[in-house]
Amino acid sequence: MGYSFNFSVVTAHWGYLASGLGTTLIVTLSALAGGLVIGLLIGVLRLARSPYLAAVGWAYVAVLRNTPALVQLIWVYYCLPILTGIEFNTTVSCIIALALHSGAYIGEIVRGGILSIDAGQTEAGRTIGMSHFQVLRKIILPQAIRRMLAPLVNEAVTILKFSALVSVLGVADLMYQAQTLATTTFRPLEIFTFVAVEYLVLCAIFSSLAKVVERRFAAAD
């Protein structure tokens, strides 16, 4: 290979590249927060006693898991404003789309977590007169959340990586800044290698944070 790497292009545009980092983190964390709320709702809905409510949860997961995230992103950006009449800025559209997407996966995680708790726990709660909702909130979810932690970290890392898709709509995240820089400096190899390393480091930080939380939980048991 005759290519000689020259990473000075990265150091020369350090500030420009770093500005994308903030956007990536904001999009990822906001989408995750939204996804958690949606996922909790969908997970509980899927286990509802009413078959209609359960069907709503099932349909949501079926649609969102069986369509590409990129299609969902573009659909929310172009179609949602037409259908609802509400205009969002591009970043907000992206956050909504990713939150809806991760909500489906988190919903499955929540459902699995709840189902993994022994039925005797629910029975014990109901026999002391607690309502369905009280049992869920005080007995089932606190136990289920510990078991959901590992798959949730997985999901967080996935969303972080998916967030690169928002560059398609022109949101100035890590990926978008890199693409712009690559076309103006003609140094795509250095720039995209650097961006890959940035994502790698971010994801590794996410995972190790989760390890700390998990250890804290394990100590409390």
- Chain residues binding another protein by CB under 8 A are 118, 120-121, 123-132, 134, 138-139, 142-143, 146, 221
Least Å from the CB of residue 118 to another protein? 8
Nearer to another protein, 131 or 183 (CB): 131
Distance of CA 124 to the CA centre of its chain: 34
Distance of CA 19 to the CA centre of its chain: 21
Nearer to another protein, 130 or 210 (CB): 130
CB 103 within 8 A of CB 64: yes
Nearer to another protein, 69 or 135 (CB): 135
Least Å from the CB of residue 120 to another protein? 4
Least Å from the CB of residue 47 to another protein? 16
Least Å from the CB of residue 131 to another protein? 6
Nearest to 28 by CA among 119, 113, 117, 94: 94
Sole residue written with tokens 């489906």:
104
Nearer to another protein, 49 or 89 (CB): 49
Nearer to another protein, 98 or 136 (CB): 136
Least Å from the CB of residue 180 to another protein? 50
